[in-house]
Amino acid sequence: MHLNPNSLPDITKDARAVLAIRAALKEDIGSGDATTLALVGPDVLATGEIQAREACCVAGLNVALYILQLLDPTLTYEILIPNGAMAPKDGVLARFTGRARAILTAERTALNFIQRMSGTATLTHQFVEAVKPYPCMVLDTRKTTPCLRVFEKFAVRCGGGMNHRFGLYDRILMKDNHRALWAGGDPARLDLAVLAARKAYPLLAVEVEVETLEELKSALRAEPEWIMLDNMSCELMRECVKLTRSATKKTKLEASGGINLQTVHNIAATGVDALSVGALTHSAPSVDLALEWSVI
């Protein structure tokens, strides 16, 4: 999948991302890059490029270049393979020219971000490809690295996936523990739980997790925006899809629970509208990228 980079948000303008980037640089540089300051003159210029040592889906290139420019505002660059595009092995993502001191100091932090983000985007791309030709969205979860969620969810978008709620504040999602603590957790009256959530937060979409057909029927009476089918067999999910489509056009279904690349195609074939995969952000391996450069 090749995305229009203009369709992706510029997370380097997101205050959460900027704070995390600055904290990462502070963590690495501390009181100063002793080796570089001792050995490299302040006026030495260098040119170089960011290379893919394996095929991958690019994510975080803007973050890496932003980090380079934070340390050298005069650095110039040219993007050759943008976020959301597939890079072949040995492909060049971007070329740049700037001060050697800044490039040396920023190199590891820049690569740490883009390698991890491209890993998430590449795994997401594999899931998106696996659900074709079904109109099923691949969603992420909140199973992210603390304080790095904005980067990881951006990477999912680069890979062709979609973001689920960002945090606890932007969607109602009633899971089994919420249901157990609400009004005795009566599965026959999940509709009342949906109505109570809507009354408390009328501007938020409401999603409720179910594990059985009876719970599904109960929730459907209130027509929540989403119902999550938790750890169901494909056969049971197909029954849920059929029942939901006959009951309402408003409610969408999300499959969840242990979904992997071996099972995802069959799950999408059940007719669910989306599936959520925690592995996109908690288990994606980093991609092997390199920042190669030389003194001018």
In the residue annotation, 108 being an active-site residue is answered as yes
What would the two tokens of residue 281 be? 């952000």
In the residue annotation, 254 being an active-site residue is answered as no
Distance CA 174, CA 246 (A): 23
Distance CA 139, CA 160 (A): 10
Q: Which of 16, 95, 108, 198 is catalytic?
A: 108
Q: Which of 16, 142, 143, 252 is catalytic?
A: 143
Q: Which of 22, 89, 132, 175 is catalytic?
A: 175
Q: Which of 230, 238, 239, 288 is catalytic?
A: 230
- Do the Cβ atoms of 46 and 103 come closer than 8 Å? yes
In the residue annotation, 235 being an active-site residue is answered as no
SS3 185: helix
Q: Which of 209, 215, 254, 273 is catalytic?
A: 209
- Do the Cβ atoms of 292 and 154 come closer than 8 Å? no
In the residue annotation, 242 being an active-site residue is answered as no
Residues in the chain: 296
- Do the Cβ atoms of 81 and 91 come closer than 8 Å? yes
- Do the Cβ atoms of 286 and 149 come closer than 8 Å? no
In the residue annotation, 170 being an active-site residue is answered as no
Residues contacting residue 235 through CB under 8 Å, at least 6 positions apart: none
Q: What are the residue numbers of the active site? A: 108, 143, 175, 209, 230
